[in-house]
Every structure is written in C-alpha cells, then in structure tokens.
Amino acid sequence: MQNRTIISKKNEDGSYDTSEYLFDGIDLYHGDRTNKKLEIAPVGTPVKNVSIQLVCTRDNIEYEFKPDEDNEYNLKCDRYPGLTIHFEDINGIKYKSDKNGVIRIINILTIPLDFFIFVEAEPYTVKKISETNVLDDINLIVWSN
C-alpha cells in the first residue's frame, strides 16, 4: 500500500481555504509581501521523508526555484527574477533547501503539520501592470518515500 500525503490551505482562523489559487492576489508591479499557512497531513499510515519543491512550468520547460546565493533559505527562479519565496514552520524557523531547491519538511509525518509559505515581490517583478495570470505556472510538489 502506498502512503499518501495531502496538502491544504488554511485561513488565519484555522478554517480551510478552498479557493482555487494559493493567494488571492500579489501585487507584482508595485511590490508586495504576503504569506499563507499550509497544512500537510498523512492519509492513513505515517509518511516518511516528506519533501517539497517549487517548480515553474512554461512551454513544457521546468524552471526550478533554487536557493539564493546571498541567503540560502530564500528560493528564486530565473522566470520571476524579482520574486523571493521561503518556507517557515509555525515557530518562525526557516526551512533550508538543498542545492536543487528541495526542502525536507519532516522525517516522519504522523499528524497534520502546519507551515507557512512567504512570498516577497520586488517592485516591477512584472514589466507591465496589465500582465495577468502570473504565478499560475508555479507548482508546489510534495512527495515522500
């Protein structure tokens, strides 16, 4: 039997966010900072070695978010040069990724675990304010073994 993991979005009050997108809106033209609480939970039996990775897919080409040279806790992608993303646990401790941008969340997941995704966009991350559907090509991949 294969162990499965689910990931959910949570509101500040602890209720689950069922909207289609991770964030309601991020101002990539003027600059913005925002975060979202996520919950990762095992389905059935405990899950071992849970990892996550952010990948941007455009025209069947994958662009991975890699650690920033100046701050290895921050993840950046060439596709969005003004965008910085990092993950923290509920105590404010940042998760560090390996050189490929893979973050190991927990060794054994037996109960739901909350963590945060933080997104910071520098002003003019997009060149035109009229650009729409940005960030819809970014996927958060979760896996375990």
**Cα separation, 51 vs 143, whole angstroms:** 6
**Cα separation, 135 vs 69, whole angstroms:** 22
Q: How does residue 132 score in pLDDT terms, banded at 50, 70 and 90?
A: low
Q: How many domains does the chain have?
A: 1
Predicted TM-score (pTM) of this structure: 0.83
CATH number, domain with residue 19 = 2.60.40
| Close Cβ partners of 107 (under 8 Å, ≥ 6 residues apart) | 48, 49
Residues 54 and 139: beta-carbon distance below 8 Å: yes
Q: Is the pLDDT of residue 129 over 70?
A: no
Asked whether the CA dihedral 11, 141, 71, 48 is positive or negative, the reply is positive
Show the domain range for 87. 4-143
pLDDT tens profile 16-29? 888 777 776 777 77
